[in-house]
Structures are given as structure tokens and as C-alpha cells.
Amino acid sequence: MSTTRHNWTKEEILDIYNKPLMELLYEAATVHRKNHDPNTVQVSTLVSIKTGGCSEDCGYCPQAARYSTGIEGNDLMSVPHVKAQALRAKESGSSRVCMGAAWRNVKDGPEFDQVLEMVRTINKLDMEVCCTLGMVTENQAKRLSEAGLYAYNHNLDTSEDYYKDVISTRAFEDRLETINHVRQSNITVCSGGIIGMGEKLEDRAGMLVALSSLNPQPESTPINALVAVEGTPMEDIEPIEIWEMIRMVAATRIVMPETQVRLSAGRTEMSREGQALCFFAGANSIFAGDKLLTTPNPDVNEDMAMFEVLGLNPQKPFTKSAQPKTVEAEDSKFESLSEKPKWTRPGHTIERNELAKQKAKLNG
Ligand code: SF4
């Protein structure tokens, strides 16, 4: 019987987070060993299938159209292009391809049909397929599931309290609703967040309360460190120290014992020793590839050399859950409903987001 708890309080999580480091590491590593093979790390490759031009105002994101960050936008990639990238990822040891599109939400139509075809194609390569496409309705999640989607990523980003200081174009509850739609569709849930955005420790704990109270808990949780990109509202925030990342990974491992905890953005700033401590503290997944959507990431060869030094092995696909079956488009049970869901638009003002927008306008 699972001993996973869904009623962690913020105070309990703060007590864990703030323990003397050696005790925290020992406790987290003990939980990790009870629930996972400590020498296996799952490797995912992130492919940006549609970059930039996003209508949202996430304060950390260089892909928001309203900020001037100099990234090159792309239209939706073709299916053969994505297939070629997936094959390359497979050859270099990735078991999962995560396709990211800079969309507020999925819209029924030819572009979504193209994404469904990408899902079918990659599932047939016997790789786990994950998508991160913004908010989805239940019908859209069911169509993704039918195409063979293994996981859907939808991060909570931070605590419910701090969320309104980061994003004004959608609400925290919308995130939970999409996660619920994913869960109802038998797709595994990938949800985590970002630290180092100027939040308090209480917010980090608050995010873990929200994630751990989901029942079941997410199958994977990315922990990102902010990569402050010039032109975004958070451009001037100093990077966090490695110790904060280690503490966050350890706390996540303790409150979500069965989840795969993924070291995500910010790895280029971490030494091998720092990453080793994160693996010891319970991280058991990484993003591979030289770019994470638009921000830099360690080279695949560097990662494989690190695995060699640490004696780590990449996890095989479908180790944790069975491979979904792909239903072809012509046999689909779910039609496009051409839905126009009314996702929330709180529209409150976030001063630093407004300033970054004005600066972008001045820069033309
Ligand atoms: S994080 Fe996603 S939703 Fe937010 S601005 Fe970037 S691409 Fe858009």
C-alpha cells in the first residue's frame, strides 16, 4: 500500500527544507532509495515545436510576444522535422521527447491535428511522448491520449500566492483545471515549477503543498532554476545558489516519494558536483539537449560523461507505466469540438511585467 501523503502543510515542508543540510540529504536519499533505483536517471529531450510569439505575460519567459528578448520565433514544425529530432534524441539516450509549443491554450484545428500526428509518430518510435501546449480541455486531452501521449506537462510554476506576481493573463486555478483534464484522460501528469523568481521560501513550500496534494501526485516534477533572460521582467534577478536547488530537490523527493524529480532549466550554471548532490537528494531525471526551448542547456556528450563519472544509467522508456496504444486519425472516437473555452484572464497589473512591455515598445 502506498504511504504517499497528500496533506503536507506549508510549515512541515518548511521544516524539511530548512533542516541541517546533511540531515536533509540523508532523509531525502533514504526516501529515494526506497522508491527508485538510485543509479538510474530518466533522460528527456525538449523540442520547441512552435517558438515565440506567445500572448501570455509570464514574467520569466522570453517567448512572450510582449517582451523584447531577441529570440527567433518559428511556426509549427513539420511532422518529419520533429521525427528527425526524436530519432536523434533516441540515439543519444533519451527515452522521452517533450514537445513544447508557445501557446496560451490548444485550439482545435489543423495545427492541433498536426501535433496529434507528431504524437502518433513519436509513440511509434517506442519513445515516451510528452507535450506542453498550454491549457487543454478534457476533449483535447482525450484526443492526445488516444494518439498515444504518455505525459502532459503543465507547471504550477510557483505558489498560488506568488502566481499573481508572475502572470496576469491566467489564474492558478486554470492550471489545476488543465491538470485535472489530463488526469481524467489517463495521461501521466508532469508538473513542477521554477525557483529563484524572487519568491519567498514559503512560496516554494506552497508550491509543494499544491503539487503533493494532487491525488495521484504528478508522475514527474521538473524543478527549474530561473534563467534570467534580458528583456524579460525578471532580467535583473540574481541566480540562486546551488544549495537552494539541492534543498528544493530534497524537499520535493520527501513529499513526493514516487515522483520522478527532474533537474530542468538552470543546469548550465551547476557544477557536476552540484548536480551529483541533486541526484543524491533524489533528482532522477534531466532534460538533455543543448537548448531548453530557448535557454542554454549542457551538451548531450557532457551529460553522458557525467553519467559515466557518477555511474548513472539512462532509464529505459515505459519503465514506470505501459506504452499507450496509438489510434490512427481515421479511427478516432473523439471529434474536434471547435471549443472556445473561457479560460480566466485576471488582467491585474504586475509592475515589472508592465515595465518590460514598455521597454520593448520603446526598443521597437
Ligand atoms: S511560459 Fe508558456 S505560456 Fe508563458 S509566455 Fe512562455 S510560452 Fe507563453
User: Which tens digits make up the pLDDT trace of 3-42?
Assistant: 799 999 999 999 999 999 999 999 999 999 999 999 999 9
Task: Sort 292 into a burial class: Cβ within 10 Å, 0-12 / 13-18 / 19+.
Answer: buried
State residue 306's pLDDT score: 93
For residue 170, the ligand 1 atom closest to its alpha carbon is 3
Length of the chain: 364
Report pLDDT digits (tens) over 117-156.
Answer: 999 999 999 999 999 999 999 999 999 999 999 999 999 9
**Mean pLDDT value of segment 267-276:** 92
Q: From 313, 210, 299, 294, select the one nearest 252 (Cα to Cα).
A: 210
Q: Where exactly are the structural domains of the chain?
A: 11-318+348-362
User: 311 CA distance to ligand 1 centroid (A)?
Assistant: 36
Q: Are strands 128-132 and 96-101 parallel, antiparallel or unpaired?
A: parallel
Nearest CA to ligand 1 atom 4: 58
Do 268 and 296 form a contact (C-beta atoms < 8 A)? yes
Q: How confident is the model at residue 98 (pLDDT cuts 50, 70, 90)?
A: very high
Do 171 and 142 form a contact (C-beta atoms < 8 A)? no
Q: How confident is the model at residue 43 (pLDDT cuts 50, 70, 90)?
A: very high
User: 188 CA distance to ligand 1 centroid (A)?
Assistant: 21
Task: Sort 16 into a burial class: Cβ within 10 Å, 0-12 / 13-18 / 19+.
Answer: buried
User: 309 CA distance to ligand 1 centroid (A)?
Assistant: 36
Do 151 and 189 form a contact (C-beta atoms < 8 A)? yes
Q: How confident is the model at residue 292 (pLDDT cuts 50, 70, 90)?
A: low
Report pLDDT digits (tens) over 150-195.
Answer: 999 999 999 999 999 999 999 999 999 999 999 999 999 999 999 9
Instruction: Please name the residue ranges forming H helices in the chain.
Output: 10-17, 21-35, 79-91, 110-123, 138-147, 160-163, 172-184, 201-212, 242-255, 272-280, 300-310, 351-362
Give residue ranges with CB within 6 A of ligand 1: 54, 56, 58, 61, 63-64, 102, 104, 134
Q: Which of 96, 120, 130, 204 is catalytic?
A: 130
Tell me the best of 46, 56, 74 to mutate to test the pocket of ligand 1, counting ligand atoms within 8 Å of each CB and taking the most: 56
131 has catalytic annotation: no
For residue 54, the ligand 1 atom closest to its alpha carbon is 8
State residue 294's pLDDT score: 67
State residue 88's pLDDT score: 92
For residue 64, the ligand 1 atom closest to its alpha carbon is 5
Q: Side-chain half-sphere of 85: how many Cα atoms within 13 Å?
A: 21
pTM > 0.85 = yes
58 has catalytic annotation: yes
98 has catalytic annotation: yes
Asked if pLDDT for residue 289 goes beyond 90, the answer is no
**Is the pLDDT higher at 166 or at 1?**
166
State residue 342's pLDDT score: 77
**Mean pLDDT value of segment 318-341:** 91
Q: How far is the first Cα of the chain from the last one, in angstroms, to the nearest whole number?
A: 59
- Least confident piece of the model among 162-166, 176-180, 271-275, 292-296: 292-296
User: 64 CA distance to ligand 1 centroid (A)?
Assistant: 6
State residue 293's pLDDT score: 64
For residue 132, the ligand 1 atom closest to its alpha carbon is 2
CA angle 275, 215, 281 (to 5 degrees): 15
Q: From 315, 258, 310, 308, select the one nearest 286 (Cα to Cα).
A: 315
Report pLDDT digits (tens) over 187-220.
Answer: 999 999 999 999 999 999 999 999 999 999 999 9
- Residue 359: how many other CB atoms lie within 10 Å: 14
Grid cell 479560460 — which residue?
343
Report pLDDT digits (tens) over 206-259.
Answer: 999 999 999 999 999 999 999 999 999 999 999 999 999 999 999 999 999 999
Q: Which of 96, 131, 190, 278 is catalytic?
A: 190
CATH architecture of 11-318+348-362: Alpha-Beta Barrel (3.20)
Helix H or strand E segment including 101:
strand 96-101
User: 103 CA distance to ligand 1 centroid (A)?
Assistant: 7
